[in-house]
Chains A and B, each alone.
Chain A
Amino acid sequence: MARRSTPEVNAGSMADIAFLLLIFFLVTTTIEKDKGIARQLPPIEDVEDPPIIKQKNLFIVNVNRSDQLLVEEQLMDVKDLRQAAIDFIDNGGAPAGSPEHCSYCKGKRAPDSSDNPDKAVISVQNDRLTSYKMYITVQNELVAAYNFLRDRESERKFGWKFTEVKKSIDEGSFNGDEEKMLEKLEEIQKLIPLKLSEAEPKKSGE
């Protein structure tokens, strides 16, 4: 029996396999990217007479050195902070007919809480010995409260979620008129402006 020579392996499909693998890895690997909570620091300037904020428009969050939370003079658990902040911003306490009246607020309209989201200021006061972990957790909860309200407003006005659209624009995966969308995002941001102030931290024990 004469042995026939081995036929050459057909390598024509090798490229296809290579591309298949390439696409598989492209799809499955997630590139680690840094994400975080963005903040704008206030410029240093000597304000002659700082605007007076009414006590009722101020939501004071105090964090002490052992990471305990004091919200409006009351001890609070961190998991309740989000809802408390939402209630405060969304209160809409200004009476109907006054220029400050908030037509879209769905809160309790308590007269001793904030007038409208534009007036409402959340002030965070940390101790110098507060842990960074707690600091970020508090910031995260407060941003979450704002995002919740922005989502609600954008859904009511335009039928989509603020955070989702913003995310898709940030990632560049948004298809459609970006300019127009950014305008709408700004409109929502005006309705629910992020007003977070940070007081100078106290030295421990003061």
Chain B
Amino acid sequence: MSKFKKKKGGEIPAVNTASLPDIVFMLLFFFMVVTVLREDNLLVRQKIPQADQVEKLKKDRSVFIYAGKPSQRYQGQYGTEAKIQIGDKYTDIKALRAALIQMRAELLPDLQSRVMVALKVDEDTNTGLITDIKQELRELEMYKIIYITSPINQSEQ
């Protein structure tokens, strides 16, 4: 009998969970840092052209305009002609102005005058479309634009 009693006394102690909060916080921080919030659901194909003489984009004061051919799954519905996307939907060049005014109104009030328009355009798009967009922007007095590019891949050169 004494044998059993001894065994009871030698129970494996519970795992110390004191550091669990540390681990959880670490993971939390990690994901906070790494995740980029994806605001818009892309409806157009995006293969961004490459460039190396680049500047950084100030996210807080920017409005995104996407352009390019409709993505594969939308091509049946919308064809393959390049389209403009603002927010979550396709925008016609005529409706561009209203959409941009609305986007600008969503920014912080003191940043609205310094708004920067980020153009994320697929490399196969015609320059004519970009010119039309730029003309609209000039009429809206949104003069600061930035062509989003991707870094040049050395191995491809």
- Interface of A toward B, CB cutoff 8 Å: 2-6, 8-9, 11, 14-15, 18-19, 21-22, 25-26, 29, 31-44, 63, 126-133, 135-137, 139-140, 143-144, 147, 170-171, 200-201
Contact = CB atoms under 8 A, between A and B. Distances in A.
Contacts of B19: 11, 14-15, 18
A136 B147 contact: yes
B52 A129 contact: no
A157 to B, nearest CB: 21
A148 to B, nearest CB: 10
B11 A132 contact: no
A25 to B, nearest CB: 5
A201 B131 contact: yes
Contact of B131 (A19, A35, A44, A128): A128
Interface of B: 6-7, 9-13, 15-16, 18-19, 22-23, 25-26, 29-30, 33-34, 36, 49-57, 59, 116, 118-128, 130-131, 134, 137-139, 141-149, 151
Contact of B127 (A15, A25, A201): A201
Contact of A132 (B122, B142, B151): B122
5 contacts: A29-B30, A40-B143, A41-B134, A129-B126, A136-B50
B128 A128 contact: yes
Interface of B: prevailing SS:
mixed
B26 A35 contact: no
A127 B119 CA distance: 19
Contacts of B149: 35-37, 136, 140
Given A35-B149, A36-B146, A43-B141, 18 more contacts: A6-B13, A11-B18, A15-B22, A25-B30, A26-B29, A31-B34, A34-B120, A34-B148, A35-B148, A39-B147, A63-B127, A130-B126, A132-B125, A132-B127, A144-B52, A147-B53, A200-B131, A201-B131
A128 B139 CA distance: 20
A103 B129 CA distance: 42
Given A8-B13, A11-B19, A36 B148 contact: yes
